[in-house]
A and B are shown apart, each in its own frame.
Chain A
Amino acid sequence: MARLNHLPCPVVVTSRDGHTLALNTRMLELAGGKKTRWIGGELDALLPPSGRIFLQTHVWPTLLRDGKVSELRLQLLNANGDQVPVFANCQRVEADNEESFYWAFFVSSDRVRFEAELLEAKKRAERSALELTESLRRQREADAALRLSATVFESALDAIMVTDGNSNILSVNPAFTRLTGHTAAAIVGRPAHSLWSGHYDTTFSLAMSSALSTRHGWEGEIWIDTTAGAHILTQQAISFVAGEEPAGDRLVIVLRDITERQQRTERLRQQALHDSLTSLPNRRLLLERLQQLLAMARRDPRRIALLFLDLDGFKAVNDSLGHDAGDLVLQEVAARLEMLVRPGDTVARLGGDEFVLLLDHAGDPDDVAGVAQRIIDAISLPINGPGWTTQIGSSIGIALNTADVDAQTLLKQADTAMYHAKMHAKNTYDFADPKRQSRVAADHLPNSGRAQA
C-alpha cells in the first residue's frame, strides 16, 4: 500500500461493504488524525450526512452494479469538520481473490470556485441576453417606427424637404416633386435657398438660418416658383431636429400650396372693400387710402383733393326706367369717372348715387376745379341703355387737405361743400370752407339721410 503515498491525491481503499482497508498520506492530511483512527471504520465517516445519503442511494448501488463510478461530486470532511468539495472516482479491483474498491478524490475547491464564477458568468450572460433581447425589441420597434416614418414621408400630401445643418437638401418626398416640379435626383445636395429665385428667396434663407441658429422652428408664407414657371404661395413650417452631433442637425421643411386659399382670401378681401355693382372701392377702402395719403402728406407735404359727387335727377331715372336702368346709369357714371382720373387716383362709390374721387398731388385749387368741371360735363352727357336714353346731372363738393385734418373730417367737409353746391344750383361744384363746415355740420349732420337729388 506504500505505493498509494506516491499518488498526488487522497486515496481510500474499501471493501465492498464500505469498510476502510487503507488510505494514503494525502487522505490523512485532509481528514486529520492517525491512520489507525480510520482503518476498519466506514467510508461514511469521511463524509458529511448528506454525502452519506448520496453514497448509499446513488453511489454504492451503481458501483456494486457496474464496478466503477467516475467524476462524482462529493464533500469530504477535513480535520476541522469543514466540507471540502471533491470529485470522486472509484474502481473495483480484484486481486488474489480479494475484492477491493479504490477511491480516488480530487480536491476541487478551486474548480468549485471556478464553477461558481462560471455560474455567475452564466447568469450575467443570461441577463445580458435578456438585455440584448430587449435592445433588439427596441431596435425592431425603432425600425418599425422608421419604416412608418418613411411611409409617412413618401405618402404625405404635404411636400417635405429635409436638409442638413448647412441647409443642403438631403431628401424630398414625392409630394414635393408634385408641388414644385423639382425631382429628388435633380436637387439633392443643392442648397435649399437656391431653389427659388426672386426676392422671396431672401425670406426663405433668413427663415432657415434663423431656425438653425435659434434651434427653433419657423412658420410663414413664402412665394415660390415652380419649374413649370408657376408662381405659387406656400405655407412653410421649418422644424429644427437636433442631431447627436452638430453635423447631424436637420431642418425639416413642410410646404403646403396655399395659392388657392390666398386667392379666395383675396377675393373676399376684394368683396369687403369694393362695391359689388360698380367694382369701385367702397367707403372703407376709400378711407384706408385717404388715411394712407394723409399720413404720407404729413411726412412729405403735397396737395390731396377729395371730390364728393352726388348725382342730380337719379331718383327720377330709377322711378321712370326701373332699377336695372338705375344700376346701368351708376355703372356708366363709374366708368366715366375712372376715365377722368390718373392711375394713382381713387374713384369710390359710397352707396346710392354718391361717389368720391381721391386725387393725390392734386395741384392748385384751380386745377382741381378744372377736374370737377370736366366731371360735371362728362356726367351730363346722355346715357344710353337698351331702348332708352337719359340724362342726369351732378353736384360736387371739394375739400383740400390741411395740416392736421383727418380722413373722416375731410370727407365731411367735401360732403358739406357738395350740399352747398347742390343748394346753389345743379351741376356746380363748391369748395369746402372750414368755418362754414362747423355751422353746416351743426345744421345738417344729424340728418345723415339728407336730401336726395
Chain B
Amino acid sequence: MHLNGAPRARGQATIEPREIDTGRMNILSRNNVSVIGDGPAVLLYAHGFGCNKSMWNQITPAFAATHRQVLFDYVGSGGSDPAAFDAQRYSSLSGYAQDLLEVCDALDLHSGVTLVAHSVSCSIGLLAAIQRPALFDKLVLVGPNPCFLNAPPDYQGGFEREDLEGLLNLMDQNYMGWASYLAPVVAGEDGGPRVSGDLSDSFCSTDPVMARVFAQATFFSDNRNDLPLVRTPALILQHRHDTLAPLSVGTYMHMHLAGSTLQVLDVKGHCAHLSNPQRVIDAMRAYLQAA
C-alpha cells in the first residue's frame, strides 16, 4: 500500500540526482502539493480532519503578493494518492506529521516556514515543530484541541468516548454508498478509479476507510504532554463558540504552550477560515507583521 517504501526500479538507482527528483515528485504528487506565489517567506497550510487544502481558498488570496504559499492534502484526504495510504502509518498523528515534513523536504524548505494549521493539524504541526524546530518560524493554530476526550477532573476536551464512537457510526452511514469505490483502491490495483474525484462533490475526505483511520487518530489522540516541548512561537486563534474546541481548551493551550498568543475570534463554529475568513486574515497579518 505504501508505495513510497517500495523499492524503485534499478535503472534509476544509479543516477543520484534523478533519484532525488523522483522522490520529490512522488511526495509532491502523493500529497497533492500546490505552491502559490514566490515570496521569500513561506506560509504552509495544513487542513483539518474531514477537510482538504481547498478549505484555505478564501485565505490564500490575501497573501499572494507577500508570501510563497504551500498547500497540500494529507494522504487519505483530498486529492492525495490513495495508493500511498498505509493504515499503520496514518493511525497515529505522527504519520501525518511525517507527511508535513516530507512535503517541506520535497520543496527544499529548511527554515522560515510559518505553519497555518486547522483543528487536528494544530497537533500535527506541533509534533512536526518539536521534531524539526529550525524549520518553523511561527505557528498559526486555528481551533486547536490537543485532546478531544474529556479527562476529568482537570481537562474538558469536549467529548466522551461514546460520542466519538457515534461519530464513527455517523461517518459509516454517510460514507455507506461509497464503499464500492474503495475495494480496488485499497487493493492497490493499477487503473482503479481514483476515489477523490468522485467524492469531491460530497465531502472533502477521500474515502470511508481512510477517513475512519484519520478520525480515530484525530479524536483518540492525547497530545497534551507534547505542548511543553514546543519552542516555536504560536498564535492560537480560538473561536468564541466552538463545539470541537471550546474556549476552555484554547485557554489550556495558551497556558501550556510557551511563547503563545491567544486570540479569541468572535465566531461560532469550528471553521473561522471558512465562515469568517477576513477575521482570520486580519489576525494572521497582524501576527506576522508584529514579529
Is this pair of chains taken from one and the same complex?
A: yes
Write the residues of chain A forming the contact surface with B, with a CB cutoff of 8 angstroms. Answer: 16-19, 42, 44, 48-58, 60-62, 64-66, 69, 72-75
CA A52 – CA B275 in complex, angstroms?
16
Q: Which A residues touch B48, using CB under 8 A?
A: 57, 61
Given A18-B268, A19-B268: A65 and B54 within 8 A (CB)? yes
B204 near A74 (CB under 8 angstroms)?
A: no
Q: Which B residues touch A54, using CB under 8 A?
A: 167, 170-171, 174
Render B217-237 as a binary contact track against A, CB cut-off 8 A, 1 for contact: 001000000000000000000
B271 near A64 (CB under 8 angstroms)?
A: yes
Chain A CB within 8 A of B92 CB: no
B270 near A42 (CB under 8 angstroms)?
A: no
CA A44 – CA B158 in complex, angstroms?
13
Q: With CB as the reference atom, state the residue of chain A lying closest to B218.
A: A57
Most central of B49, B244, B267, B269 by chain A CB within 10 Å: B269
Q: Which B residues touch A74, using CB under 8 A?
A: 170
Q: Which A residues touch B244, using CB under 8 A?
A: 52-53, 56-57
A50 near B274 (CB under 8 angstroms)?
A: no
B47 CB to nearest A CB, Å: 9
Chain A CB within 8 A of B22 CB: no
A61 near B55 (CB under 8 angstroms)?
A: yes
B269 near A49 (CB under 8 angstroms)?
A: no
Q: Which A residues touch B14, using CB under 8 A?
A: none
CA A73 – CA B176 in complex, angstroms?
10
Q: Which A residues touch B119, using CB under 8 A?
A: 57
Chain A CB within 8 A of B205 CB: yes
Q: Which A residues touch B50, using CB under 8 A?
A: 57-58, 61
CA A58 – CA B167 in complex, angstroms?
11
Q: Which B residues touch A16, using CB under 8 A?
A: 275
One of B158, B163, B166, B269 near A60 (C-beta < 8 A): B269
Chain A CB within 8 A of B164 CB: yes
Given A57-B48, A58-B205: A50 and B275 within 8 A (CB)? no
A53 near B164 (CB under 8 angstroms)?
A: yes
B268 near A53 (CB under 8 angstroms)?
A: no
One of B51, B55, B167 near A53 (C-beta < 8 A): B167
23 interchain pairs, CB-CB under 8 A: A17-B268, A17-B269, A42-B241, A48-B163, A49-B158, A49-B159, A49-B163, A49-B243, A53-B219, A54-B170, A56-B270, A57-B49, A57-B50, A58-B50, A58-B205, A60-B271, A60-B275, A61-B51, A62-B202, A64-B275, A66-B201, A69-B202, A72-B174
A57 near B160 (CB under 8 angstroms)?
A: no
Chain A CB within 8 A of B252 CB: no
Q: Which A residues touch B203, using CB under 8 A?
A: 58, 62
A357 CB to nearest B CB, Å: 100
A57 near B270 (CB under 8 angstroms)?
A: yes
One of B54, B173, B267 near A73 (C-beta < 8 A): B173
Write the residues of chain B forming the contact surface with A, with a CB cutoff of 8 angstroms. Answer: 48-51, 54-55, 57, 119, 158-160, 163-167, 169-171, 173-174, 201-205, 219, 241-244, 267-271, 274-276
15 further A-B pairs in the complex, CB-CB below 8 A; given A60-B270, A61-B204, A65-B54 = A17-B268, A17-B276, A19-B268, A42-B268, A49-B163, A49-B243, A53-B164, A54-B170, A60-B271, A60-B275, A61-B50, A61-B271, A61-B274, A72-B174, A75-B170
CA A230 – CA B226 in complex, angstroms?
103
- Please give me the 4 A-B residue pairs with the lowest Cβ-Cβ distance, nearest first: A50-B166, A57-B50, A49-B163, A17-B268
Q: Which B residues touch A61, using CB under 8 A?
A: 48, 50-51, 55, 204, 271, 274
B143 CB to nearest A CB, Å: 9
Count contacts between A and B, CB distance < 8 Å. Answer: 94
- Chain A binding surface, main DSSP class: helix
A241 CB to nearest B CB, Å: 48
Q: With CB as the reference atom, state the residue of chain B lying closest to A74.
A: B170
A375 CB to nearest B CB, Å: 106
B267 near A65 (CB under 8 angstroms)?
A: no
CA A413 – CA B59 in complex, angstroms?
141
B76 CB to nearest A CB, Å: 14
CA A53 – CA B166 in complex, angstroms?
10
B159 CB to nearest A CB, Å: 6
CA A61 – CA B219 in complex, angstroms?
18
B270 near A65 (CB under 8 angstroms)?
A: no
A16 CB to nearest B CB, Å: 5
A53 near B243 (CB under 8 angstroms)?
A: yes
A408 CB to nearest B CB, Å: 95
B137 CB to nearest A CB, Å: 27
Q: With CB as the reference atom, state the residue of chain A lying closest to B118.
A: A61
Q: Which A residues touch B268, using CB under 8 A?
A: 17-19, 42
CA A201 – CA B232 in complex, angstroms?
109
B55 near A44 (CB under 8 angstroms)?
A: no
Q: With CB as the reference atom, state the residue of chain B lying closest to A54.
A: B170
CA A53 – CA B243 in complex, angstroms?
7
B243 near A58 (CB under 8 angstroms)?
A: no
Q: Which B residues touch A55, using CB under 8 A?
A: 243
Q: With CB as the reference atom, state the residue of chain A lying closest to B177.
A: A71
One of A42, A51, A65, A72 near B55 (C-beta < 8 A): A65
Most central of A49, A58, A64, A74 by chain B CB within 10 Å: A58
B176 CB to nearest A CB, Å: 8
Q: Which B residues touch A58, using CB under 8 A?
A: 50, 171, 174, 203-205
CA A48 – CA B159 in complex, angstroms?
11
Q: Which A residues touch B170, using CB under 8 A?
A: 50-51, 54, 73-75
B165 CB to nearest A CB, Å: 8
B208 CB to nearest A CB, Å: 12
Q: Which B residues touch A66, using CB under 8 A?
A: 201
Q: With CB as the reference atom, state the residue of chain A lying closest to B143.
A: A56
Q: Which B residues touch A75, using CB under 8 A?
A: 170
B53 CB to nearest A CB, Å: 11
A73 near B174 (CB under 8 angstroms)?
A: yes
CA A51 – CA B163 in complex, angstroms?
8
CA A65 – CA B201 in complex, angstroms?
10
B243 near A52 (CB under 8 angstroms)?
A: yes
Q: Which A residues touch B166, using CB under 8 A?
A: 48-51
CA A411 – CA B34 in complex, angstroms?
127
CA A191 – CA B30 in complex, angstroms?
80
B16 CB to nearest A CB, Å: 42
Q: Which A residues touch B201, using CB under 8 A?
A: 66
Q: Which B residues touch A64, using CB under 8 A?
A: 271, 274-275
A181 CB to nearest B CB, Å: 63
Q: Which A residues touch B276, using CB under 8 A?
A: 17
Q: Which A residues touch B267, using CB under 8 A?
A: 17
